[in-house]
Amino acid sequence: MENRTDILSLSHKEMQDFIVSLCEPRYRADQIYTFLMRGASSFEEMNNIPKKLIEKLNEHAFIATAKQIEKLTSKDGTAKYLYEMYDGEKIESVIMRYHYGNTICISSEAGCAMGCAFCASTLNGISRKLLPSELLSQVIQTQKDIGERIDGIVLMGIGEPLDNYDNVIKFLHLVNEEKGLNIGLRHISLSTCGIVPRIYDLAKEELPITLSISLHAANDETRSALMPINKRWNVEALLTACADYFAATGRRISFEYTLINGKNDNEDTARELASVLRKYCKNMPLHVNLIPVNAVKESGFAPSNKEGIKKFVAVFEKNHIVATVRRHLGSDINASCGQLRAKKAE
């Protein structure tokens, strides 16, 4: 498989070049590309391609399809997929149905090396990074399964997207191709635990995506205890990078803050968070997403109670920082990432 071309990682133009390199007419690339975007997982099912070319394609290329092996559907319409990659690695995607359209949450790596204390995705470490094709295939196969267009993407599944930088950037270009899925970059969010140098790289890509920062703490002591990455790039380095990113791109950043009972959810912490955001991100519109932590049994953390959340939000309101509490979609199907993959590994 390694010597063959990963055809789904090719742009439309690259696919044309590839087909021409096989001494075939360019228009064949258009036909193959269309089949791939509709979810073909083998060349055999491309019924207007001559047999000889199918043989050639099998010899020189492979399709890295995300193969559905399990699907859980929630009462609220959210559905979670367990997908298997060509080498048996398993990852998860979640489709969320909103009144304004369908948004998919995809995985960027098989497992995760970041070690956040509250997260199920990192329990068994990382197996490998996903290919651009494997990111794209999650969208294509889910779109095929629901029979509706997917309008938006969040890179908030298993893995750290900025730890798989090149493949994620390639994927963003692929998914935005006019002849392909044509999903607008403005409808794509990328979430990171804070790999600071890659935030600076991302600013230079000039992609109008939304950057989302998993903050989860207001100071280094708490953040380092929850997120090991903070020992490498601390709160100051991270928030400075955010301010610089905004200055360079003009794109608003959203901050994710998961509320853990007794760990990071009291009013003093809320005040500290508001003040630290104001200090480093002075000229930036501030938006904080509060997410009651999803209890993962290994972490022993519990979500904050309603009263605690209300007080937390009130502090932000007083400080004129927009804070929204995330709706808890799909909680009946363990929709927070990594839980299904971890269960399979047991």
What are the helix and strand counts (H, E) for the chain? 11, 14
- 315: its two tokens: 């502090």
- Containing 149, the helix (H) or strand (E) segment is none
For ligand SAH, the closer CB: 116 or 281: 116
Least Å distance, CB 193 to ligand SAH, is 4
DSSP readout, 235-248? HHHHHHHHHHHHHH
Alpha-carbon distances, residue 203 vs 66, 197, 236, 239, 251 (angstroms)? 30, 10, 18, 14, 9
Residue ranges binding ligand SAH (CB under 6 A):
114, 116, 118-119, 156, 160, 191-193, 214, 256, 258, 291, 293-294, 296, 336-337
Rounded distance between C-alpha atoms, residue 135 and residue 93, angstroms:
10
For ligand SAH, the closer CB: 63 or 296: 296
Rounded distance between C-alpha atoms, residue 255 and residue 252, angstroms:
10
Known catalytic membership, residue 92: yes
For ligand SAH, the closer CB: 41 or 212: 212
Least Å distance, CB 127 to ligand SAH, is 15
Least Å distance, CB 60 to ligand SAH, is 35
**3-class secondary-structure state, position 256:** strand
For ligand SAH, the closer CB: 14 or 89: 89
Least Å distance, CB 215 to ligand SAH, is 8
Helices 132-146 and 165-175 meet at what angle, rounded to 10?
40
- 115: its two tokens: 């070690």
Alpha carbon 338 to its chain's center: 12
- 1: its two tokens: 């498989």
For ligand SAH, the closer CB: 85 or 119: 119
Catalytic residue among 24, 92, 160, 256: 92
Catalytic residue among 105, 112, 119, 337: 337
For ligand SAH, the closer CB: 10 or 110: 110
Q: Which are the contacts of 300, defined by CB distance < 8 A and separation ≥ 6?
A: none
Least Å distance, CB 2 to ligand SAH, is 27
Alpha-carbon distances, residue 318 vs 179, 279, 314, 340 (angstroms)? 47, 16, 6, 39
Least Å distance, CB 336 to ligand SAH, is 5
Catalytic residue positions?
92, 337
